[in-house]
Amino acid sequence: MRKIKAQLFISLDGVVEAPDQWHFPYFNDEMGAAVDATLGRADTLLLGRRTYDSFAGAWPGREAAGGEDAPFAKLLGDARKIVASRSRQTFTWRNSEQLAGELADGVAALRNESGSPVWISGSVSVVRQLLAAGLLDELNLFVHPVAVRSGTRLFDEAPLPLPLELISSDTFRTGVLNLSYAPATAPGEGTYEDAKAHLKRREE
């Protein structure tokens, strides 16, 4: 069974939109190693159409140019790329295909395959839907120490909270937090009266 994992750049106030406008000052060797250990080793990527179009518009050209990022561009090109879209798509980037059926059904079928994890990069709408459907096994967030103050946030409004369990954490020299979460069961009910039992009482 394959696990479905997502990786996102996110600001301190939860913004995930247009990270190219605020993310790069924080990209150092530590983050590069973390990205290489995940997306750089993925043999299968699941992407929303907009993220795919952005990738396909940049990475093939970078691979052809043969610059410093050409090896990473080749890794992305060689990976199987599955695109989630409601409309029929045609692709020019090699190893690209459209997810069969509805998102939840298609991802459930992917999970039933054998192999290494399927990684999602960006693709906020896809991540949200998979979280809601209980089909995302891990959420890897690079939390940047900046409040962007405008733009799409990862978590939109919903009637119920979404409990998560922290499974790993690391702090980069830039102040970026590398946090990984897995779905969790709800912690149960609690009140201020319950919390008071954990407060340290001051001695009179």
Residue 98 inside a domain? The answer is yes
Residue 67 inside a domain? The answer is yes
How far is Cα 81 from Cα 49, in angstroms, rounded to an integer?
Answer: 11
How far is Cα 10 from Cα 167, in angstroms, rounded to an integer?
Answer: 18
Tokens 């093939």 found at: 60
Residue 202 inside a domain? The answer is no
Contact of 181 with 141, CB cutoff 8 Å: yes
Mean pLDDT confidence for 163-173: 97
Mean pLDDT confidence for 171-189: 93
Residue 57 inside a domain? The answer is yes
* Residues 6+ positions from 161 with CB-CB distance below 8 Å: 186
pLDDT value at 190 more than 90: no
Residue 73 inside a domain? The answer is yes
Contact of 148 with 2, CB cutoff 8 Å: no
How far is Cα 181 from Cα 161, in angstroms, rounded to an integer?
Answer: 15
**191 backbone dihedrals φ, ψ, rounded to 5°:** -130, 170
- Report the pLDDT value the prediction gives residue 133, as an integer from 0 to 100: 93
Residue 201 inside a domain? The answer is no
- Report the pLDDT value the prediction gives residue 82, as an integer from 0 to 100: 96
pLDDT value at 160 more than 90: no
Could you tell me the CA-to-CA distances from 107 to 42, 74, 75, 162, 198 in Å, in that order? 16, 25, 22, 20, 42
Mean pLDDT confidence for 111-124: 93
The reported pTM is 0.91
- Report the pLDDT value the prediction gives residue 204, as an integer from 0 to 100: 46
Count of domains observed in the chain: 1
pLDDT value at 44 more than 60: yes
Residue 91 inside a domain? The answer is yes
Confidence band for 200, pLDDT divided at 50, 70 and 90:
low
**Domain, as residue range, for 181:** 4-196
Confidence band for 187, pLDDT divided at 50, 70 and 90:
confident
Residue 26 inside a domain? The answer is yes
β 164-171/177-183 pair status: antiparallel
High-pLDDT (> 90) share of the chain, %: 81
CATH code for the domain of 81: 3.40.430.10
Q: What is the pLDDT of residues 65-109, one digit of tens each?
A: 999 999 999 999 999 999 999 889 889 999 999 998 899 999 999
pLDDT value at 167 more than 80: yes
